A and B are shown apart, each in its own frame.
Chain A
Amino acid sequence: MRIPILKLYDCLLVSIQWELDDATALQFQEDLLHKIHETSANGVVIDITSIDFIDSFIAKVLGDVVSMSKLMGAKVVITGIQPAVAITLIELGIVLDDVLTALDLEKGLEKLQQELGD
């Protein structure tokens, strides 16, 4: 199943609602980059409120998609990281440097607008 990517003005909105398997995560990476290209979006918010764990593979895919989007000129904010996810990511030894994050979707959109300088 593909993750829906919605366009909102010059931004893209993604809400990941179910546990990611490897194939879905990689498909999402590709879909998002195509969508950025198609819509000339400047910013992306990826909300992961419903995700209750992240392993090193999913973390890598998310980190990579942020870097790839940056190469294409779009800024990405990841929102809704749950306490359990934050704890396990750090214990696992994964540092998502250079990734913008915010507590929830609302704060994520605000952060994106600041970053984009509107």
Chain B
Amino acid sequence: MEFQSCVKIINEWDIVAARQLGRNVAKELGFGTVDQARITTAISELARNIYLYAGQGRVCIEKLFENGKSGLLIVASDEGPGIPDVRKVMEDGFSTSGGLGAGLPGVKRLMDEFDLDTNVGKGTEIRATKWLR
């Protein structure tokens, strides 16, 4: 059975709600404190990107059970402007918002699998998975 739970990202409080949801699911799945921190941080970065660049969107957390392994999938989607140059945003240190520029490459390093699908003018969907070891 699939388990999925979503938080709409409209304002900065929703970022807190999204990472709390993620941390709770990570705990339920039995992730240790370091992986919980990785997952929570990744959700926080993705939710903040939605809030900053797309204005609104949503973050969904899904429990995965595949071939005897369990995992947590984060799906961050929006109908914002999309990313014109994907290669550039995946470079370390690139940021258009004057933040620290940790952004997407950092999220990719925190998680085990990372997949980005974007269409200029239509929106962006990022899927990132962490498997329980």
Contact = CB atoms under 8 A, between A and B. Distances in A.
Interface of A: 19, 21-23, 52-57, 59-60, 63, 82-85, 87-88, 91-94
A23 B12 CA distance: 8
Interface string B100-133: 1111011101100000000000000000000000
A19 B16 CA distance: 9
Chain B contact surface mostly = helix
A110 to B, nearest CB: 27
A56 B100 contact: yes
Contacts of A83: 33-34
A19 B36 CA distance: 14
Interface string B38-60: 10110011001000000000000
A91 B45 CA distance: 13
A10 B102 CA distance: 36
B21 interface: no
B9 interface: no
Contacts of B20: 19
B37 A53 contact: yes
A22 B33 CA distance: 23
A56 B110 contact: no
A57 B105 CA distance: 15
A48 B33 CA distance: 16
B13 interface: yes
A47 B15 CA distance: 24
A52 to B, nearest CB: 6
Of B99, B100, B103, B110, which is in contact with the most chain A CB atoms at under 10 Å from its CB? B100
- Which 5 pairs between the two chains have the least Cβ-Cβ distance? A92-B106, A84-B37, A55-B44, A56-B102, A53-B37
